[in-house]
Amino acid sequence: MRDTVLQALDRRAAEGRPARLWWRDDDAVEPTAALDRMLLLSQTWQVPLALAAIPARTGAPLAERLQGENLTTVAVHGWAHRNHAPSGEKKAELGAHRPAPVVLAELAQGFDTLRGLHGPRLAPVLVPPWNRISPDVVAGLPALGFRALSVYGPPKPAPLAVINTHVDLIDWHGTRGGRPADALYAELARELARPGDDPIGILGHHLVHDAAAWSFLESLFELTRGHPGCRWTSLDQLLKDA
């Protein structure tokens, strides 16, 4: 399947439409060995990283660790990553289970918290926990200063830019570790083959990465490095292009 991705990239290069790839990782709270490993990967391969941080659970240590990390941008990962859905429903913090003004007030606080901690490193992008958000909450995001929303899967209409991810490294319904590389490369090949030039997002969760997840990232960065059929793009640049 790795060869299938390479062939898709070769076609993109021949057509003169290199794919815009981007890397998002969720659930950042504090410095950890896993965070260090991810930041080292970013620097080693010169791949920009969008780090979704949980405002209510983070603080100065993470901001201090990211100083000097010129390839890393921070996004707003909800408020506390707390589930408010009733038992039996899919988990959601930003769903329709609470009044939209209550949810939006939390998001405003989260935005302000991270802006105070990270300054210009913070991108005005909301990453909903569990990639779920109600339409009423989406409608209120522009008034809070958000310029983009990032979830998982095909985009839905929204009053702000939508910059989604498409290939999730983690097998959430099985091993809860890294998915097989062949399955990930097959998904990426399908995304590369679809029409249009929307960015293609790779989604990770560094705190639960196992050897398979780390190995896939290394393999992917090696495969794509310098290939004329793609370019790794920062979240800041995607916002400018949106």
Which residue segment(s) compose the domain that 183 sits in?
2-241
CB–CB of 52/26 below 8 Å? yes
Contacting residues for 211 by C-beta, under 8 A, at least 6 apart: 178
CB–CB of 165/198 below 8 Å? no
- The Cα-based distances of 192 to 26, 125, 156 in angstroms read 23, 24, 19
Largest CA distance in the chain: 51
> Measured between alpha carbons, how far is 188 from 75 in angstroms, rounded to an integer?
23
- From first to last of the 242 residues of the chain, give the pLDDT tens digit: 899 999 999 999 999 999 999 999 999 999 999 999 999 999 999 999 999 999 999 999 999 999 999 999 999 999 999 999 999 899 999 999 999 999 999 999 999 999 999 999 999 999 999 999 999 999 999 999 999 999 999 999 999 999 999 999 999 998 899 999 999 999 999 999 998 889 999 999 999 999 999 999 999 999 999 999 999 999 999 999 98
Domain count, the chain: 1
Q: What proportions of the chain, in percent to the nearest 5, are helix, strand and coil? A: 45, 20, 35
- The Cα-based distances of 76 to 54, 111, 236 in angstroms read 7, 6, 14
- Give the per-residue pLDDT at 38: 98
Nearest alpha-carbon partner for 167 in 19, 42, 59:
19
- Give the per-residue pLDDT at 195: 87
- Give the per-residue pLDDT at 84: 96
Contacting residues for 174 by C-beta, under 8 A, at least 6 apart: none
pTM of full prediction above 0.95: yes
- Give the per-residue pLDDT at 48: 98
What are 176's two structure tokens?
């809860």
- The Cα-based distances of 63 to 14, 31, 119 in angstroms read 42, 9, 9
Nearest alpha-carbon partner for 221 in 49, 34, 8:
49
Q: CATH number, domain at 184? A: 3.20.20.370
Q: Which amino acid is at 40?
A: L
- Give the per-residue pLDDT at 146: 98
